[in-house]
Amino acid sequence: MIASRPSFCPDLRRSSVRLSSEVFKVKIGRLERSLCRSSGNKLSAVIASASQTSVSDPISTPSRNDLSDSLKKSNEASLILIRHGESLWNEKNLFTGSVDVPLTKKGVEEAIQAGKRISNIPVDMIYTSSLIRAQMTAMLAMTEHRQQKVPIILHDENERARTWGRIFSEETKKQSIPVVTAWQLNERMYGELQGLNKQETVERYGKEQVHEWRRSYDIPPPNGESLAMCAQRAVTYFCDEIEPQLFIGKNVMIAAHGNSLRSIIMYLDKLTTQEVISLELSTGVPLLYIFKEGRFVRRGSPVGPTEAGVYAYTGKLAQYRQKLDEMSH
């Protein structure tokens, strides 16, 4: 197979050089297009970040001026990716895919540990899949965050959900972190493998066939999604909804799944369809990227001995941590 790099978001491919004004215009245009496409409360999820409030108020719709002001203000943002902690079906070695299975006790602990690892990294917005294992992971991780803001799930499924979820205190909003749930970040649909035991499936169909289903780029499991199909929705969502937040300086955490995150990492690290085959993600281990001048730079996982290195990389992160230290003394 010829290794190639799929292009999900051709108009947003990052330049390895400084972000030129031309590219920046394209990116602003993209953000505006995304605003135009959005309607009702979906709109507020995107513009909330531009309005400098911490939680999108489903009713208020800040003006375009607010948006361009904040676009000018920031040029660096953190992006944390976390695969959910161990689920009850991970523990049983069952193909899970789109089935909505909660965490085990070990998964809960992994999520808390992940929270400790990222407790000094700013988080302004959280994106999770619509599946409980990713949402539990995000919420449990945030219980450890030194910022001590409250993650609040935005509900925009209908007008009543939007209206009934309003917050009437600006101060409380500032102490909150909006959590956007999106099915596009769900684990890939594993088709007729869902609920089957992975080892038994190997015994029945052979190691090679099962490996092809699990790790090839474009071969789907029976009636399921290939990684390419999963990438199509997950990376498109990342480009349309999450990248615009990073452009305006919002620090984002994504809690999702092995394969939806593999496809996003493929995009961020510009991996080929061959390279992504060997990319494996452990449950509950956060990865940090810095988005600066139109580029994503991987900092690795801010854990143990590498933590000092992570903070040494950017002045902004170091300052943030210092501020947290001062506040807690």
Ligand X SMILES: O=C(O)[C@H](O)COP(=O)(O)O
Site of tokens 């108009």: 11
Which one is catalytic: 110, 145, 187, 257? 187
Does the annotation place 162 within a ligand binding site? no
Separation in Å, CA 184 to CA 131, 145, 187: 11, 26, 9
Q: Does 258 sit near ligand X (CB under 6 A)?
A: yes
Distance CA 46, CA 144 (A): 26
Residue 280 makes CB contacts below 8 A (sequence gap 6+) with: 258
Active site residue 84: yes
Beta bridge partners of residue 132, listed in sequence order: none
Q: Compute how many residues bind ligand X; rule: CB under 6 A.
A: 9
Beta bridge partners of residue 296, listed in sequence order: 291
Instruction: Select from 45-53, 115-123, 251-259, 303-311 the region that touches ligand X (CB under 6 A).
Output: 251-259
Closest distance of CB 123 from ligand X, Å = 24
Hey, is 151 helix, strand or coil?
strand
Q: Does 110 sit near ligand X (CB under 6 A)?
A: no
Which one is catalytic: 22, 32, 76, 84? 84
Closest distance of CB 97 from ligand X, Å = 5
Does the annotation place 143 within a ligand binding site? no
Q: Does 54 sit near ligand X (CB under 6 A)?
A: no
Site string for ligand X, 34-53 (x = CB under 6 A): --------------------
Does the annotation place 198 within a ligand binding site? yes
**Is the CB of residue 259 less than 8 Å from the CB of residue 270?**
no
**Is the CB of residue 294 less than 8 Å from the CB of residue 317?**
no
Does the annotation place 75 within a ligand binding site? no
Does the annotation place 166 within a ligand binding site? no
**Is the CB of residue 110 less than 8 Å from the CB of residue 85?**
yes
Active site residue 187: yes
Q: What is the DSSP string of 60-116?
A: ----HHHHHHHHHH--EEEEEEEE---BHHHHTTB--TTS---B-HHHHHHHHHHHH
Q: Which is nearer to ligand X, 190 or 217 (CB)?
A: 190
Hey, is 218 helix, strand or coil?
coil
Site string for ligand X, 68-107 (x = CB under 6 A): ---------------------------xxx----------
Q: Does 259 sit near ligand X (CB under 6 A)?
A: yes
Does the annotation place 260 within a ligand binding site? no
Distance CA 254, CA 236 (A): 15
Residue type present at position 241: E
Distance CA 238, CA 219 (A): 23
Comparing every residue's Cβ against ligand X, the nearest one is: 96
Q: Does 190 sit near ligand X (CB under 6 A)?
A: yes
User: Strands of 252-256's sheet, edge to edge?
Assistant: 150-153, 176-181, 125-128, 252-256, 76-83, 287-292, 295-300
Does the annotation place 189 within a ligand binding site? yes
Q: Among residue numbers 206 through 235, which ones bind ligand X (CB under 6 A)? A: 214
Q: Which residues are annotated as a binding site for substrate?
A: 83-90, 96-97, 133, 187-190, 198, 214-215, 258-259
Residues binding ligand X (CB under 6 A): 95-97, 187, 190, 214, 257-259
Q: Which residues are annotated as a binding site?
A: 83-90, 96-97, 133, 187-190, 198, 214-215, 258-259
Catalytic residues: 84, 187
